[in-house]
Amino acid sequence: MDDFYRDFILDHYRNPRNFGHLDHPEASAEDLNPLCGDTIRMEFEVDGGVVRDVRFSGKGCAISQASASMLTETIKGMRLEEIAKLSKDVVLENVGIGISPTRLKCATLGLRVAKSAAIGEIAGWPDEE
């Protein structure tokens, strides 16, 4: 079963879903993992507090990029308040295999960025363009 999840992760890494930029995002955030240099930016198109479209960009290891790709599929259609409350369990479920403590920061970078974008939009913070 681990081979299936490894292939799934590599597929998301090589063919990321929702990769790129939105023309006019209502919310965005960007962060990096200083330990390894992974970077991720998330951009949301929001309508009535619901994420109608999402894009991510960045560079880094297969785990950080694949988990961000998977996360975009999860959060599309979610309310900002729901995204702000997501736990790392959603990332671990998406990835489907055990993640070592050192790789957990890579896997959850996209989640940290998505939550930051959601919280910023809820709070009315200026977009991080």
The domain 2-123 having CATH identifier 3.40.50.2000: the answer here is no
* Residue spans per domain, the chain: 2-123
So what's the pLDDT on residue 22? Answer: 98
So what's the pLDDT on residue 96? Answer: 81
* Residue for token pair 């930029």: 21
pTM: 0.90
Confidence of residue 120 (pLDDT cuts 50, 70, 90): very high
Tokens of 3: 């081979």
So what's the pLDDT on residue 10? Answer: 86
* Residue for token pair 């597929």: 11
Confidence of residue 127 (pLDDT cuts 50, 70, 90): low
Mean of all residue pLDDT scores within the chain:
91
Q: Count of alpha carbons within 13 Å of 50, Cβ hemisphere only?
A: 6
Task: Using the predicted structure, report yes or no on whether residue 129 has a pLDDT greater than 60.
Answer: no
Query: Between these two residues, 129 and 120, which has the higher pLDDT value?
Result: 120
Closest CA to 65 of 26, 34, 33: 33
pLDDT digit string, tens, across residues 18-29? 999 999 999 999
Task: Using the predicted structure, report yes or no on whether residue 1 has a pLDDT greater than 70.
Answer: no
Helix or strand run (H / E) with residue 90: helix 88-95
